[in-house]
Amino acid sequence: MKEIVILEILDWGVSIGGEHVTGTLHGEENGKYKTVKVKHLLSASEALYLNKKEECSSLSRHKPGESNSRFETEAELIKAAKKIWKIEFPQARALMKGLSCMADPQEVLSADREFKTKVNRMWKRMKDAGGYEGNEALCFKIFYEYSAFLKEWRNKC
């Protein structure tokens, strides 16, 4: 769906020694599926920290200003993704956080006010219902409402 870009976030905090998050933008560009790793430039203190942490590896010698896909917090990752999604996917109209393979409403990070407000309400209702495991009937109702809204929203272009 060329109108929507999805930010998938991977949290390495659950792995041994992992303490960062990474993210990938998933979308469509010129009719082709495209992914873009979200990156930022390392500060001097980040480069020093990574070099100390990985001192057993002769392969990693990080330098300030180097492009890196590790972020300390999800908020920093989202901030960086918001800066690049329209550059990488100029035809897109919305940035959502979630899974690229999911058809249910997901949290909208950036879009026009109507889209963001309506979809985030649906996303919150589904989340508050406990998902399909919590209230399957309500979640299907929200899914159909979301599908109808997307169809209407796409036709406005």
| The pLDDT of residue 133 | 96
Looking at residue 15, what is its pLDDT?
Answer: 58
Given a cut of 70, the residues of the chain with pLDDT beneath it are 1, 12-18, 51, 54-60, 157
pLDDT at 67: 72
- Which candidate, 142, 117, 118, places its Cα nearest to that of 128? 142
How does DSSP assign 7-24, residue by residue?
EEEEEGGGSTT---EEEE
**What six digits make up the tokens of 79?**
């901030």
The 10s digit of each residue's pLDDT in 97-108 is: 999 999 999 999
> What pLDDT is attached to residue 71?
87
